[in-house]
């Protein structure tokens, strides 16, 4: 099988690429390296092209000849989207339309799209099923929802198989600290450097954390096990508080730093937990992770990563 992975040098994309190569797939990666690293693809035999999903001509060249497009390239995060809403929309929506137009032109058989739980906004019920109302609280959530609708509508119009995976809070190897980073690398950096951990709000907000290896597997199974048009929540079905997460990271890091509380941030939801029964039924998906063991493994990688301080 031949695959194009957009955002393939990034955190989630590089883990997916590694799995695809293990399974014998031929892989082409498109990444502008704004948040990804070529180092993430070290020793993986593949075709790497540095470029942007907003470049229509380049996208068209790279889509030709592939069987599956895994579309992960995105501007990610609520905070980033609040500060740069136009760029967020341009990358996440127009970039996706470019992928879809080329996929239609070149008769690509399947698209696996990386969506986000941010499309739901504040939850009315938990755990959250796929048919929960979608009222995003940030430009990021809006752009990911719009792109998801584009993917599903193109699939139905042109007879393409498409799967949208709505990621909850993904963590694991290749997730580095940056100014817009996710909570686990931020807490890890602070715990390991002896810096106080900052929690926005009272810390009793909950999140569903899933290891990136399970997310990579969900993408692979979506591409190989299913035809037609499908939407899945991609989480563990379990959640923990941010206070508990901070304590776990400190325990795993052997650290005892102070915790500082600040006002809640705009666009952050209070509670989040996935109902993954549909993915279990259709894909046979069972998350394999143990949170404490996975955090220990992540911290071991984080300590050794030479790129952690770069951005």
Catalytic residues: 140
Instruction: Determine the Cα angle at 212 with ends 174 and 122, to 5°.
Output: 110
DSSP string, 197-263: EEEESSS--EE-EEEHHHHHHHHHHHHHH--SEEEEEES-S--EEHHHHHHHHHHHHT----EEEEP
DSSP, res 237? S
User: CB of 87 within 8 A of CB of 25?
Assistant: no
Distances (CA, A) of 48 to 34, 36, 225: 15, 12, 26
Q: Return the DSSP state at 130.
A: T
CA-CA distance, 60 to 105, in Å (whole number)? 9
Task: Specify whether the CB–CB gap between 85 and 144 falls below 8 A.
Answer: no
- Element containing residue 155 per DSSP (H, E): helix 139-158
CA 250, 255, 261, 267 torsion: positive or negative? negative
- Using CB atoms within 10 A of its CB, is residue 241 exposed (0-12), middle (13-18) or buried (19+)? middle
**DSSP codes, 260-292:** EEEPPPTT--S---B--HHHHHHH-------HH
Q: How far apart are CA 193 and CA 302, in angstroms?
A: 12
User: Tokens 């709505």 correspond to what residue?
Assistant: 166
In contact, 70 and 16? CB cutoff 8 Å: yes
Report the C-alpha gap between 190 and 250 in whole angstroms. Answer: 9
């Amino acid at each position: 099988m031949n695959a194009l992975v957009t955002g393939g040098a990034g955190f989630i994309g590089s883990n997916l690429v590694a799995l695809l190569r293990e399974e014998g797939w031929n892989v082409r990666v498109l990444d502008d390296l704004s948040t990804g690293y070529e180092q993430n693809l070290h020793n993986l035999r593949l075709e790497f092209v540095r470029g942007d999903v907003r470049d229509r001509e380049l996208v068209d060249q790279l889509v030709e000849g592939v069987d599956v497009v895994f579309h992960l390239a995105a501007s990610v995060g609520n905070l980033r989207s609040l500060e740069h809403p136009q760029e967020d929309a341009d990358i996440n929506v127009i970039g996706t339309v470019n992928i879809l137009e080329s996929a239609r032109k070149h008769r690509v058989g399947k698209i696996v799209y990386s969506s986000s739980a941010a499309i739901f906004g504040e939850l009315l019920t938990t755990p959250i099923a796929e048919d929960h109302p979608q009222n995003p609280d940030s430009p990021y959530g809006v752009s990911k929802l719009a792109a998801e609708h584009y993917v599903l509508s193109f699939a139905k119009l042109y007879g393409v198989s498409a799967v949208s995976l709505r990621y909850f809070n993904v963590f694991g190897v290749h997730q580095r600290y940056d100014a817009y980073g996710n909570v686990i690398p931020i807490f890890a950096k602070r715990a390991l450097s002896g810096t106080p951990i900052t929690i926005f709000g009272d810390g009793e907000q909950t999140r569903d954390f899933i290891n990136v290896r399970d997310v990579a597997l969900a993408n692979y199974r979506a591409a190989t096990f299913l035809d037609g048009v499908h939407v899945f929540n991609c989480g563990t079905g379990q959640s923990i508080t941010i206070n508990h997460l901070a304590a776990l990271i400190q325990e795993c890091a052997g650290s005892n730093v102070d915790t500082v509380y600040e006002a809640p941030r705009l666009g952050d939801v209070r509670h989040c937990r996935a109902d993954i029964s549909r993915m279990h039924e259709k894909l046979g998906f069972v998350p394999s992770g143990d949170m404490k063991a996975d955090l220990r493994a992540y911290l071991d990688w984080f300590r050794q990563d030479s790129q952690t301080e770069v951005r």
